Amino acid sequence: MGSGSTEAAGASSVRAVEALDSVVIRFVGDSGDGMQLTGSEFSKAVAKAGHGFATHPDYPSEIRAPTGTLFGVSGYQIQYGSRQVFTSGDAPDALVAMNPAALKTNLADVKHGGIIIANTGAFADTNLAKAGYASNPLEDGSLDGYRLFKIDISALTAAALRDSGLSKKEVGRCKNYFALGLMLCLYGRPIEDEIADVYEKFAKKPEFADANANALRAGYAYADAAEIFAATYQVREAAARPGVYRSITGNHAAALGFVAASESSGVGLFLGSYPITPATDILHELSALKHFNVTTYQAEDEIAGICSTIGAAYGGALGLTTTSGPGMALKTEAMGLAVMLELPLVIVNVQRGGPSTGLPTKIEQSDLLQAIYGRNGECPIPVIAARSPADCFDCAIEAFRIAVKYMTPVILLTDGGIANAAEPWRIPDVASLPKVEVSYRTDPEGFQPYARDENLARAWVRPGTPGMEHRVGGLEKDFLSGNISHDPLNHQRMVDVRAAKVAGTAQDIPPTTVEGPASGELLVIGWGSTYGTIAQAREKAEAEGRSVAHVHLRHLNPLPPDLGELLGRYKTVLVPELNMGQLSKLLRERYLRDVVPLNKVQGKPFKVSEVHDRILELS
């Protein structure tokens, strides 16, 4: 488990304490077992201790799958350690399995010799049958290669809450807090802060607050007293850059970034959105921030969501709409309208598995070509992508900065892997944030609606500005007046200038950062949420003496101006993507350079080992 040594505990205890550099823990159970809450609360506990960490929530697409079934399993994995943590980990050191289905669907991932804590109370014949077990794996020797701890979490929770006054069903819902308390003790974390969080979370229902707090205490006390545990585990302290940190998910970070852009510009933020997994939390987060001049509108459908945003942008607000892949398909025509009107707005696509409804709760990066090309006509839009939960904050500001400077819609790509995952975020100094500068034209002298500045951006004029009335719509515009024009040469000119404007946003892209050697045998190039996996795989390969570099792209349309020259410095270029090779196609098309794709579409992120093994084969 992790790496480290076994040390004697204090004189008052006979139990050893094993010191670790890092550990990977996965909580799994039925979709009603509260595993997402358990995992997120455990993450908060290690965050407060100052550890680097990364998480991966994994939950079923069904709102409530049949209890005990394989496709109803929900999980939450966290890796935390004494150094920077790039991913949630390849394989769990410890698995908490609340029922047979959870064990069966996750056992193959657990490290050989790893810990399995199984809730024996759920391993009844009916649940074993639902999971496809012919015999009880806790008794038939099939788990002999692991450190198995059989604990009746269900019964122990019921015993702890027998005087709570809650129903049997309500008591059963508290067993996740028993599991949380057990794991907090086993991994050397105090529970005082967690108990305070419980009472805050359930402040309006004190009977549930008391029950969950007591379940938490009971789990902690059991782990502390039970003789079955020969050791507890302590991850070494991390040396963090000084500052104020918080745990943050990608969706929350994006919401805060959009508010920061609004505050920086002095312009109100409008979100028009239709709920869709896994993007909906941005709507939830922003609806709670209305005191920052934020207006949220839950539209009746995806088309209404973006059309309301276009209206808000026309009215002078920072217009924002959020969605996932299927919603992007529905918004396509309105995106073309925004391009024709040349209005600043941001479209967030929190990608998920497709096509169609696909895998709504699973990770994929398969909407890149849709973002760049997926509209009728010649309809260019700048596209950027966030690489981690915390990076969503910076990308949100960057998206609006481009939008208002160049008067264009901008697409921001995240995905389900970083939208719901959490990591530490160092809260930035507000004065250090990039400025989002907004200027409305108010002088009617010589005004032409489509006259352009040095960035090829037309003026932003709020409706009702005296003497500056102008026409908007989806039909092609005259080059200056904005009147409807069917002139062939005017259309050519407008198509050219819109393309030139988007291409011109490349002047703001900073020099590309290369991690590793500036030239050599192998360059690994990625985008989006593969960053952590590639970074860790590269570091591991470098430590083994391999010459390998890593470039991670934020700007995908246009691509960085120096990228072509950079690609030429390396003998081989490897492109890992959670799709069938979409960035690979773009690089081949743009630079006439062959690349080696590494593709995965399983609804799961890359393992570090998968990228590392391919690096070794190529370097």
User: How is 276-325 classified by DSSP, letter by letter?
Assistant: -TTTHHHHHHHHT-GGGTEEEEE-SSHHHHHHHHHHHHHTTSEEEEEE-H
pLDDT digits (tens, 9 = 90+) for 148-165: 999 999 999 999 999 999
Output the six-digit token pair for 355: 């096509």
What pLDDT score was predicted for residue 12? 38
Q: How confident is the model at residue 9 (pLDDT cuts 50, 70, 90)?
A: very low
Contact 112/145 with Cβ under 8 angstroms? yes
| Confidence at residue 7, expressed as pLDDT on a 0 to 100 scale | 35
**Range scoring the smallest mean pLDDT among 50-59, 232-241, 349-358:** 232-241
Residue-level pLDDT at 5: 34
In the 3-class helix/strand/coil scheme, how is 176-215 assigned residue by residue? HHHHHHHHHHHCCCCCHHHHHHHHHHCCCCHHHHHHHHHH
The strand pair at 52-58 and 22-30 is best described as unpaired
pLDDT band with cut points at 50, 70 and 90 for residue 8:
very low
pLDDT at 46: 93
Distance separating alpha carbons of residues 210 and 212, to the nearest angstrom? 6
Match 């973006």 to its residue by tokens.
306
More confident residue, 84 or 403: 403
Q: Which SS3 state, helix, strand or coil, does residue 380 take? A: coil
In degrees rounded to 5, what are phi and psi of residue 418? -105, -15
Taking only the tens place, the pLDDT of each residue in 484-519 is: 999 999 999 999 999 999 999 999 999 999 999 999
Tokens 């959670």 sit at which residue?
Answer: 578
Task: Give the Cα-Cα-Cα angle 519, 561, 533 (nearest 5 degrees).
Answer: 55
> Which sign, positive or negative, has the C-alpha torsion 214, 215, 216, 219?
positive
H or E element, residue 259: helix 250-265
pLDDT digits (tens, 9 = 90+) for 31-69: 889 999 999 999 999 999 999 999 999 989 887 788 899
Please return the burial class of 466, using the count of CB atoms within 10 Å of its CB with bins 0-12, 13-18 and 19+. Answer: exposed
What pLDDT is recorded for position 15?
Answer: 80
What percent of the chain has pLDDT above 90? 93
* 517 token code pair: 């050697």
Query: For residue 566, how many other CB atoms are within 10 A of its CB?
Result: 20
pLDDT tens for each residue of 372-398 = 999 999 999 999 999 999 999 999 999
Residue 94 CA to residue 287 CA, distance in Å, equals 37
Q: For residues 348 and 398, is the Cβ–Cβ distance under 8 A?
A: no
Q: What is the pLDDT of residue 538?
A: 98
Mean pLDDT of the chain: 95
Q: Is 7 helix (H, G, I), strand (E, B) or coil?
A: strand
Q: Centre a 10 Å sphere on the Cβ of residue 379 and count the other Cβ atoms it contains.
A: 20
How large is the average pLDDT for residues 14-32? 92
pLDDT at 291 over 90: yes
Q: Which residues pair with 4 in a beta bridge?
A: 20
Beta bridge partners of 55: 78
Write down the pLDDT at residue 6.
33
* Cα–Cα nearest to 191, from 80, 42, 394: 42
- pLDDT per residue over 531-569, tens digit each? 999 999 999 999 999 999 999 999 999 999 999 999 999
DSSP state of 238: P
Amino acid at 3: S
Position 237 pLDDT exceeds 80: yes
State the burial class of residue 112 (Cβ atoms within 10 Å of its Cβ: 0-12, 13-18, 19+): exposed
Confidence (pLDDT) at 14: 64
| 122 phi, psi to nearest 5 deg | -95, -5
Check whether 3 has a pLDDT greater than 50: no
Q: What tokens does 566 get?
A: 């950079």
Confidence of residue 239 (pLDDT cuts 50, 70, 90): confident
Going by DSSP bridges, is the β-strand pair 520-527/570-577 parallel, antiparallel, or unpaired?
parallel
What residues contact 19, with CB distance under 8 A and at least 6 apart? 4, 5, 6, 7, 233, 234, 235, 236
DSSP 9-33: --TT---EEEEESEEEEEEEEETTS
- How would residue 132 be classed by pLDDT, with cut points 50, 70 and 90? very high
pTM: 0.94
